[in-house]
Chains A and B, each alone.
Chain A
Amino acid sequence: MGVRNIARHSLWICWKDLLEFSRSKLRLIMLVLMPLFMMVMVGFIFPSGGSTISDQPIALANMDAGYNNNFLGNTFVAQLNVINNNTGMMDLSTAKDFGSIKSEIQNSKVAGGIIIPENFSSNILTGEQGYVTIVIDQSNPQMSVMIQTVLSKTIEAMGEQMAIHSLNSTYNVSIIQATSMVKPYNVQIRSVPEGNTNYFQFVAPGIIAMVVMISYEKDMGTLDGMLVAPINRLSIILGKVMAQTIRGMLQGFIILLLAVILFGVVVQGNILLVVALIVLTVFSFVGLGILITSFTDKEETATMVMMTLMFPMMFLSGVFFPLQQMPSYMQTFAHFLPLTYATTALRKVMVLGADIPAVATEITILVGFGVILLMIAVPMFKRAMSR
């Protein structure tokens, strides 16, 4: 047999696989469309930076009973209206009380509500804090968190303004002094890398890693012809792995190109390192594909198993959300998934401009994962083939 034969046979098998792939128009189109859809989808669904909520229907119940004919609730509403006219965040409507807001939320008429209680004026004018209640819709947790945050901030800011004005008018403190008294800390933001970043920048590395991972060879159905030829079993595996790697690289490149051209993603790090990481990602998943084909009987079963494994990986490996957003036990779990490391490494290089030492850990883990998987998969495959 010899090494030369193995090499030659595997090259022919690789040639066959790539030829087959290049002939299938639909697969080629999907190769471009799939990542494009992904980018568009996640890029626009998940908002990039700050709050972008607008025209949210919010019910407002002003129940303030007043104090000595002073109706501070009305002032509050007027202020809120002024702010809202500038930001266009809310679509304010009037409600009677908590009960009516609740039923409006239940009927999906409003996304949340604000209640100014009866004792609002009396509390403030007697030297106590005035309470404002925000009602949120728990059936839409993400939106309710956003509304909650935005409303709280707005109302806090209104309170600060009021305090500053009281200080200014009551104690004759200048507005600047009053501001520094009420709000001694102010926050400024500087980012690495400099400049505006967007969600695409965050999500592109993950999508590259993910799509590359999916590009495995399902078609092992007609292996009999190769198995009955006097070739080493290793040639088949090698040939398939080569074809898969080349294909994965191509796919990775296309997404990278799309990300740069269409979505303004900037590659901060070394482009060669990005390419190397893409190849490494393909390598670390090759064994998984072989393993699955070894113990599944049909192409469809293999696809199903692959999908079942893929889906949690997609969501748990920090492709779409930062890992840090997940509960700690989930983070622990994520550290057992190779996609996590592929995503992290690619993100570090593409977004942060990291060099090799900075991603050495990830590289080591990916190589290790690939080697271990292959060490399990190759004997399994060989065994499965001579059943």
Chain B
Amino acid sequence: MTVASNETIDNGVAIEISHLKKMFDDFVAVNDVSFSVKKGEIFGLLGPNGAGKSTLIRMLCTLSRPTEGFATVAGYDVLKQDDKVREHVGLVSEKMIMYDQLTARENLKLFGKLYNLPKDVLNKRIDELLSFVRMEKWADYKIATFSTGMKQRINVIRALVNQPEILFLDEPTLGLDPQSTAEIRELIRRINAENGTTIILTTHIMVEADILCKRIGIIDHGKVVAIDTPANLKKLVSGTEASAFEIEISNLEPGIVSSLQSLSSVKSLVQEDPTRLTVRANGNDSFDSIVDNLRKNGAKILMVKNLEPSLEDVFLHLTGREAREKVSENGNPKRRFGPHGRRRNARVR
């Protein structure tokens, strides 16, 4: 497959968002959001459920009308040229867009026909897409007979029948088992790498955003609070705080601990269990001085791990709150915040 269409002026921008706002009655779901996404990028929108990620995506897909502001997608205005936008985007929404009683091939065929693809082109493309996700064997089985992971693979390639320049994925791994989650993440990478498709992805899972996205926009309460590469976002945290180490020592004696504590660079020290310490220290040579000190006292070091700040820390740093998604990541994806999340999700169905 190749990248489709170059009709618009190639300025390297796939999506341009300017002061976009969406209100549901009195509730502000998306609040004055502006940013742009480059062509070929995997861009992540990270935030808790109900933060406004889905609403933002739906506006960009022309499924929801912005209350204020404007946006161009693939060079077209989402309000004035919605049909043009639609030709160039694909959407994998939170709820699978598929008909259970139809086979994989029939589902793909229906959507291909809605994009006016001629029969032979469509048939060829369906075969390509099915082999792309290694589902050729299952082409003529009903979706209802598939596992969730298989369904999601079909769901993703369904959004690719029109060879979109830009693919929107709204929580693509929600409710998948770990193996399927890994598969879908790999698939997203391949779509981006092999077809050069620009990908906008929403997720509330920090790790997912971290490993997949080139850039991440952190969104909370409808506002984008930071946009940068994962590495730069993490620097926001590490620049202000000491570096942290996790150290495992087999003969962890009180003398070793107190000696380490007396070091000037060590800011805090917590003994996690009989053999493990978490040490926070300032300065560039803090690692050396800590290890030297331990050696001097005859400590047998089993392991030293540099605790890098995670996006979790970034989120906490930016919003002043715990990323509330731990519950969700442990298999409770239904958690919502405030009335808006539930309402919006219900409405758009």
Contacts and interface: CB of A to CB of B under 8 A. Distances in A.
Interface of A: 1, 5, 8-9, 12-13, 15-16, 19-20, 23-24, 221-222, 224-231, 297-298, 385-387
Contacts of A226: 114
29 contacts: A9-B113, A12-B110, A12-B114, A19-B101, A19-B106, A20-B102, A222-B95, A222-B96, A222-B98, A222-B99, A224-B63, A225-B91, A225-B97, A225-B111, A227-B62, A228-B61, A228-B62, A229-B115, A230-B83, A230-B86, A230-B87, A230-B115, A297-B346, A297-B349, A298-B346, A386-B64, A387-B64, A387-B65, A387-B348
A221 B97 CA distance: 9
Contacts of B113: 8-9, 12
Chain B CB count within 10 A is highest, among A13, A19, A230, for A230
A5 B63 contact: no
Nearest to A229: B114
B142 A23 contact: yes
B104 to A, nearest CB: 14
B347 A387 contact: yes
Contacts of A24: 101
Contact of A229 (B86, B99, B348, B349): B86
B318 to A, nearest CB: 30
A226 B162 CA distance: 13
A9 B117 CA distance: 11
Interface in B65-114: 65, 83-84, 86-87, 89-91, 93, 95-99, 101-102, 106, 110-111, 113-114
B110 A16 contact: yes
Nearest to A227: B63
Contacts, number: 79
B11 interface: no
Chain B CB count within 10 A is highest, among A225, A226, A227, for A225
A116 B346 CA distance: 69
A23 B102 contact: yes
A222 to B, nearest CB: 5
B188 to A, nearest CB: 18
A20 B101 contact: yes
Interface bracket on B: 20 to 34
B240 interface: no
A23 B99 CA distance: 11
Contact of B116 (A5, A20, A23, A221): A5
Contacts of A12: 110, 113-114
A385 B65 CA distance: 10
Interface in B213-259: none
A86 to B, nearest CB: 60
Contact of B93 (A20, A224, A231, A385): A224
A316 B348 CA distance: 35
A8 B115 CA distance: 11
A106 B285 CA distance: 98
Contacts of A385: 63
Chain A CB count within 10 A is highest, among B114, B142, B348, for B114
A16 B91 contact: no
Given A222-B96, A297-B349, A298-B346, A386 B106 contact: no
Interface in B195-226: none
Nearest to B100: A20
A227 B63 CA distance: 7
A222 B102 contact: no
B347 A297 contact: yes
Contact of A228 (B91, B96, B98, B347): B91
Nearest to A222: B97
Contacts of A228: 61-63, 86, 89-91
Contacts of A221: 95, 349
Contacts of B53: none
Contacts of A20: 99, 101-102
B23 to A, nearest CB: 11
Contacts of B63: 224, 227-228, 385-386
Nearest to A220: B349
B102 to A, nearest CB: 6
A297 B64 CA distance: 15
Contacts of B96: 222
A24 B90 CA distance: 29
B77 to A, nearest CB: 15
Given A16-B106, A23-B102, A386-B64, 11 more contacts: A9-B113, A20-B101, A221-B95, A221-B349, A224-B95, A224-B348, A228-B86, A229-B162, A230-B115, A231-B114, A298-B349
A16 B349 contact: no
A172 to B, nearest CB: 86
Given A224-B95, A225-B97, A16 B102 contact: yes
A386 B61 CA distance: 11
B158 interface: yes
A176 to B, nearest CB: 75
A15 B63 CA distance: 24
Chain B CB count within 10 A is highest, among A222, A228, A385, for A228
